[in-house]
Protein backbone atom coordinates (compact mmCIF):
# COMPACT_ATOMS: atom_id res chain seq x y z
CA UNK A 1 0.00 0.00 0.00
CA UNK A 2 1.23 3.50 -0.85
CA UNK A 3 1.32 6.19 1.85
CA UNK A 4 -2.16 7.61 2.57
CA UNK A 5 -1.06 11.15 1.69
CA UNK A 6 0.34 9.89 -1.63
CA UNK A 7 3.74 10.31 -3.20
CA UNK A 8 5.19 13.76 -3.89
CA UNK A 9 6.65 14.77 -7.24
CA UNK A 10 9.83 12.76 -7.80
CA UNK A 11 13.25 14.33 -8.13
CA UNK A 12 14.98 13.23 -11.31
CA UNK A 13 18.73 13.39 -11.89
CA UNK A 14 20.81 13.74 -15.03
CA UNK A 15 21.43 10.18 -16.18
CA UNK A 16 18.14 8.70 -14.93
CA UNK A 17 16.89 6.38 -17.64
CA UNK A 18 13.73 4.44 -18.51
CA UNK A 19 13.42 1.95 -21.37
CA UNK A 20 9.99 1.24 -22.86
CA UNK A 21 8.37 -1.10 -25.36
CA UNK A 22 5.38 0.08 -27.40
CA UNK A 23 2.79 -1.64 -29.54
CA UNK A 24 -0.04 -0.25 -31.68
CA UNK A 25 -1.97 -1.08 -34.87
CA UNK A 26 0.88 0.70 -36.73
CA UNK A 27 3.61 -1.54 -35.34
CA UNK A 28 5.85 -1.98 -32.34
CA UNK A 29 9.23 -0.93 -31.06
CA UNK A 30 11.37 0.19 -28.15
CA UNK A 31 12.79 3.51 -27.02
CA UNK A 32 14.64 4.98 -24.06
CA UNK A 33 14.08 8.20 -22.12
CA UNK A 34 17.19 9.70 -20.51
CA UNK A 35 17.33 12.80 -18.34
CA UNK A 36 19.90 14.66 -20.43
CA UNK A 37 20.11 17.96 -18.53
CA UNK A 38 18.30 20.52 -16.41
CA UNK A 39 17.46 23.74 -18.24
CA UNK A 40 15.55 26.92 -17.47
CA UNK A 41 12.61 27.70 -19.75
CA UNK A 42 11.02 31.10 -19.16
CA UNK A 43 12.95 31.22 -15.88
CA UNK A 44 11.56 27.89 -14.63
CA UNK A 45 13.69 24.77 -14.10
CA UNK A 46 12.89 21.84 -16.42
CA UNK A 47 14.20 18.32 -16.82
CA UNK A 48 15.09 17.75 -20.47
CA UNK A 49 14.44 14.11 -21.38
CA UNK A 50 16.01 12.87 -24.59
CA UNK A 51 14.89 9.98 -26.75
CA UNK A 52 16.89 9.90 -29.98
CA UNK A 53 16.38 13.27 -31.71
CA UNK A 54 13.33 14.07 -29.53
CA UNK A 55 13.54 16.17 -26.34
CA UNK A 56 10.67 16.57 -23.88
CA UNK A 57 10.75 19.38 -21.32
CA UNK A 58 9.20 18.47 -17.96
CA UNK A 59 8.77 21.24 -15.38
CA UNK A 60 10.90 20.05 -12.43
CA UNK A 61 8.40 21.08 -9.73
CA UNK A 62 5.54 18.86 -10.96
CA UNK A 63 6.57 17.06 -14.19
CA UNK A 64 4.13 19.10 -16.28
CA UNK A 65 5.09 18.93 -19.98
CA UNK A 66 5.94 22.32 -21.43
CA UNK A 67 7.66 21.66 -24.70
CA UNK A 68 8.64 18.90 -27.11
CA UNK A 69 11.25 19.29 -29.82
CA UNK A 70 12.37 17.06 -32.67
CA UNK A 71 15.89 17.62 -33.99
CA UNK A 72 15.89 21.02 -32.26
CA UNK A 73 12.62 22.19 -33.87
CA UNK A 74 9.60 22.86 -31.63
CA UNK A 75 7.02 20.19 -32.37
CA UNK A 76 4.61 20.89 -29.47
CA UNK A 77 4.24 23.58 -26.82
CA UNK A 78 1.64 23.47 -24.03
CA UNK A 79 0.44 26.76 -22.57
CA UNK A 80 0.26 26.48 -19.62
CA UNK A 81 2.32 23.26 -19.25
CA UNK A 82 0.12 20.12 -19.29
CA UNK A 83 -0.38 18.65 -15.81
CA UNK A 84 -0.20 14.86 -16.04
CA UNK A 85 -0.03 14.68 -12.24
CA UNK A 86 -1.37 16.64 -9.28
CA UNK A 87 0.98 16.03 -6.35
CA UNK A 88 0.77 14.44 -3.88
CA UNK A 89 -0.98 11.64 -5.76
CA UNK A 90 -3.61 9.63 -3.92
CA UNK A 91 -6.53 7.40 -4.87
CA UNK A 92 -9.62 9.46 -5.60
CA UNK A 93 -7.75 12.67 -6.47
CA UNK A 94 -9.23 14.61 -9.40
CA UNK A 95 -8.14 17.68 -11.34
CA UNK A 96 -9.11 19.43 -14.57
CA UNK A 97 -6.93 21.45 -16.84
CA UNK A 98 -7.47 23.65 -19.86
CA UNK A 99 -4.43 24.44 -21.97
CA UNK A 100 -3.47 25.46 -25.46
CA UNK A 101 -1.44 23.02 -27.54
CA UNK A 102 0.62 24.69 -30.23
CA UNK A 103 2.31 22.63 -32.90
CA UNK A 104 4.74 23.07 -35.74
CA UNK A 105 2.68 24.44 -38.64
CA UNK A 106 -0.69 23.64 -37.04
CA UNK A 107 -3.32 25.95 -35.65
CA UNK A 108 -3.32 26.06 -31.84
CA UNK A 109 -5.82 23.65 -30.28
CA UNK A 110 -7.56 24.21 -26.95
CA UNK A 111 -7.60 21.09 -24.80
CA UNK A 112 -9.58 20.34 -21.65
CA UNK A 113 -8.76 17.16 -19.75
CA UNK A 114 -10.23 15.67 -16.58
CA UNK A 115 -7.79 13.53 -14.59
CA UNK A 116 -8.71 10.97 -11.92
CA UNK A 117 -6.51 8.75 -9.78
CA UNK A 118 -8.79 5.73 -9.96
CA UNK A 119 -7.00 3.53 -7.44
CA UNK A 120 -3.94 1.53 -6.48
CA UNK A 121 -2.90 -1.57 -8.41
CA UNK A 122 -0.04 -4.04 -8.42
CA UNK A 123 1.48 -4.16 -11.90
CA UNK A 124 4.03 -6.54 -13.37
CA UNK A 125 5.95 -5.50 -16.48
CA UNK A 126 9.30 -6.63 -17.88
CA UNK A 127 10.92 -3.79 -15.90
CA UNK A 128 9.69 -5.23 -12.58
CA UNK A 129 6.74 -5.52 -10.22
CA UNK A 130 5.37 -2.28 -8.81
CA UNK A 131 2.69 -0.83 -6.58
CA UNK A 132 1.08 1.82 -8.80
CA UNK A 133 -1.56 4.48 -8.93
CA UNK A 134 -3.81 4.16 -11.99
CA UNK A 135 -4.61 7.54 -13.51
CA UNK A 136 -7.29 8.03 -16.18
CA UNK A 137 -7.43 11.10 -18.43
CA UNK A 138 -10.63 12.00 -20.29
CA UNK A 139 -11.45 14.81 -22.71
CA UNK A 140 -13.77 17.23 -20.89
CA UNK A 141 -16.79 17.10 -20.93
CA UNK A 142 -17.01 13.62 -22.55
CA UNK A 143 -16.34 10.26 -20.89
CA UNK A 144 -13.89 9.41 -23.72
CA UNK A 145 -10.56 8.13 -22.46
CA UNK A 146 -7.46 9.94 -23.71
CA UNK A 147 -5.22 7.55 -21.85
CA UNK A 148 -4.65 5.49 -18.72
CA UNK A 149 -1.32 5.30 -16.95
CA UNK A 150 0.02 3.38 -14.02
CA UNK A 151 2.48 5.55 -12.06
CA UNK A 152 5.02 3.74 -9.83
CA UNK A 153 6.76 5.86 -7.18
CA UNK A 154 9.57 3.27 -6.98
CA UNK A 155 10.42 3.88 -10.66
CA UNK A 156 9.73 7.66 -10.49
CA UNK A 157 7.72 7.14 -13.69
CA UNK A 158 4.70 5.47 -15.21
CA UNK A 159 5.30 1.78 -15.91
CA UNK A 160 2.29 1.16 -18.17
CA UNK A 161 0.46 3.58 -20.45
CA UNK A 162 -2.48 3.05 -22.81
CA UNK A 163 -3.33 5.82 -25.28
CA UNK A 164 -6.66 5.78 -27.11
CA UNK A 165 -6.73 6.94 -30.75
CA UNK A 166 -9.40 6.61 -33.47
CA UNK A 167 -7.12 4.05 -35.20
CA UNK A 168 -6.74 1.96 -32.03
CA UNK A 169 -4.84 1.69 -28.76
CA UNK A 170 -1.11 2.29 -28.35
CA UNK A 171 0.28 0.47 -25.29
CA UNK A 172 3.62 1.19 -23.69
CA UNK A 173 5.37 -0.63 -20.84
CA UNK A 174 8.57 -0.20 -18.88
CA UNK A 175 11.17 -2.84 -19.74
CA UNK A 176 14.00 -1.48 -17.58
CA UNK A 177 15.25 1.57 -15.69
CA UNK A 178 18.28 2.97 -13.91
CA UNK A 179 18.06 5.83 -11.41
CA UNK A 180 21.11 7.85 -10.32
Q: Which domains does the chain have, with CATH numbers?
A: 27-178 (2.40.360)
Residue 62 has pLDDT above 60, yes or no: yes
Rg (CA), the chain: 16
| Model pLDDT for residues 75-100, shown as the tens digit of each residue | 999 999 999 999 999 999 999 999 99
Average pLDDT estimate for 97-110: 87
Q: How far apart are CA 88 and CA 57, in angstroms?
A: 21
Q: How much is the mean pLDDT over the chain?
A: 94
| Model pLDDT for residues 120-145, shown as the tens digit of each residue | 999 999 999 999 999 999 988 888 89
| Model pLDDT for residues 168-179, shown as the tens digit of each residue | 999 999 999 999
**Percent of the chain's residues with pLDDT above 70:** 97
Residue 69: count of CB within 10 angstroms of its CB: 18
Amino acid sequence: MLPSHGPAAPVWHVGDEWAFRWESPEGQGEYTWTVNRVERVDGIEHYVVRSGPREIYFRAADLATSLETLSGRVERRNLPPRLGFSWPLSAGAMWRQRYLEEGDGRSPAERAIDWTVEGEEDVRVDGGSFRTLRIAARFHPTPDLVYEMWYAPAAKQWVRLKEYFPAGVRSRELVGFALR
